[in-house]
């Protein structure tokens, strides 16, 4: 049977949704309350990190991640419900990441959600992980539609026009690697530690961002796409030519972070121009950043200044909601449930699932295979 999206009666009172997240190396569960007026209250938010399991390898190992999710998800889910202070019977819906992500982890979380939904007789909401990131700023503040979204994580780098729930138009995306992947590769090349992004930022604070001349891929182009493969290669070559000292590490980390920030600011600026062409000049525009790389302080500061210069409001989720978490999945699930959207038990786990699936299928930016478009 094909995956089917069903309609239910729209929300006429508060909703309590349990969200599960297991798309990469975080096993997470959260319980969220959504009032009829759209206000949300986070009742619990549990995240079990797998950093120790993956640290010896300098990156996430899919098989290890999948086994860790299987070991942890039942206890994490029970803890989230217990800490919410509510009985299982008061949960109105079960939401889980159904993709994109490492397929072993996605299957674990989605199958757990299906089992709970069936056992409790509750609706299932299969959530796109990227939609969770896209809505994450709404966990803590009013972030009205529409807005321009910069979604930057370990697996994705995209610029999207967000006009409503489930309505996303791609303005730009990476043609090769994601920004978070470039951070992780930089950390691995210099043996800075795991996870890579925070380690690069830590070392960059001690270095000279002008020490090494690195490329700014796509800078100045009249589109909003990204490319980070060349920057990754340039970092590897610079490190190979260095004396491998702590000073060299700090300078290269700082130079890489500056190149990455300037590149993204240039691409966002171009997307702002494209976005403004599609909206009224009298509308108050908003720039929203989300995803794991949104936790980088230099990037956040640069985006805030750029938004001010271009008369955009700037909205970013708190750091704890930038990385993978189940609160954003519960929120996306609650928003969809409130709109009367639920999924059948045949909802598939997807390793690839672009937010703008139709556009990505027609013109994928970074490859198309049996599993679908990457972006």
Second-level CATH architecture of 5-137+321-373: 2-Layer Sandwich (3.30)
Instruction: Phi first, then psi: give them for residue 205, nearest 5 degrees.
Output: -60, -20
In which residue ranges of the chain is CATH 3.30.420.40 found? 5-137+321-373, 143-316
In CATH, what number does 143-316 get? Answer: 3.30.420.40
pLDDT in tens, the chain (375 residues): 335 567 666 667 899 999 999 998 889 999 999 999 999 999 999 988 776 777 777 777 777 888 888 899 999 999 999 999 999 999 999 999 999 999 999 999 999 999 999 999 999 999 999 999 999 999 998 899 999 999 998 888 999 999 999 999 999 999 999 999 999 999 999 999 888 899 999 999 999 999 999 999 999 999 999 999 999 999 999 999 999 999 999 999 999 999 999 999 999 999 999 999 887 655 679 999 999 999 999 999 999 999 999 999 999 999 899 989 999 999 999 999 999 999 999 999 999 998 886 555 555 555 444 444 444
Residue found under tokens 């969770």: 132
Structure pTM? Answer: 0.89
Question: For the residues of 158-189, what is the DSSP string, one character each?
Answer: EEEEEEETTEEEEEEEBSS--HHHHHHHHHHH
Instruction: Phi first, then psi: give them for residue 349, nearest 5 degrees.
Output: -85, 130
């Amino acid at each position: 049977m094909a995956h089917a999206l069903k309609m239910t009666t729209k929300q006429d009172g508060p909703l309590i949704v349990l969200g599960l997240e297991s798309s990469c190396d975080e096993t997470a569960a959260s319980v969220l309350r959504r009032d009829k007026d759209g206000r949300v209250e986070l009742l619990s938010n549990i995240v079990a990190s797998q950093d120790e399991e993956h640290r010896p390898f300098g990156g996430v190992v899919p098989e290890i991640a999948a086994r860790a999710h299987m070991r942890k998800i039942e206890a994490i889910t029970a803890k989230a419900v217990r800490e919410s202070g509510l009985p299982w019977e008061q949960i109105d819906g079960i939401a889980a990441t159904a993709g994109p992500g490492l397929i072993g982890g996605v299957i674990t979380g989605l199958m757990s959600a299906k089992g709970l939904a069936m056992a409790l007789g509750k609706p299932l909401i299969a959530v796109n992980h990227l939609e969770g990131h896209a809505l994450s700023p709404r966990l803590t503040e009013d972030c009205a539609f529409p807005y321009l979204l910069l979604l930057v994580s370990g697996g994705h780098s995209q610029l999207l026009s967000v006009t409503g729930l489930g309505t996303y138009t791609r303005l730009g995306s990476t043609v090769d690697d994601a920004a978070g992947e470039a951070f992780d590769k930089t950390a691995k090349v210099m043996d800075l530690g795991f996870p890579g992004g925070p380690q690069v930022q830590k070392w960059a604070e001690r270095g000279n961002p002008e020490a090494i001349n690195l490329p700014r891929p796509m800078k100045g182009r009249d589109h909003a796409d990204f490319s980070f493969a060349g920057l990754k290669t340039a970092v590897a070559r610079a490190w190979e030519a260095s004396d491998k000292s702590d000073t060299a590490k700090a300078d290269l980390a700082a130079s890489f972070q500056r190149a990455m920030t300037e590149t993204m600011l240039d691409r966002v600026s171009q997307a702002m121009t494209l976005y403004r062409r599609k909206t009224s000049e009298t509308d108050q525009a908003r720039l929203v950043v989300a995803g794991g790389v949104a936790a980088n302080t230099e990037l956040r500061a640069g985006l805030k200044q750029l938004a001010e210069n271009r008369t955009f409001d700037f909205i970013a989720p708190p750091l704890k909601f930038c990385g993978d978490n189940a609160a954003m999945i519960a929120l996306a699930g609650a928003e969809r449930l409130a709109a009367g959207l639920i999924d059948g038990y045949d909802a598939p786990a997807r390793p690839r699932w672009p937010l703008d699936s139709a556009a990505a299928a027609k013109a994928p930016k970074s490859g198309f295979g049996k599993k679908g478009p990457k972006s």
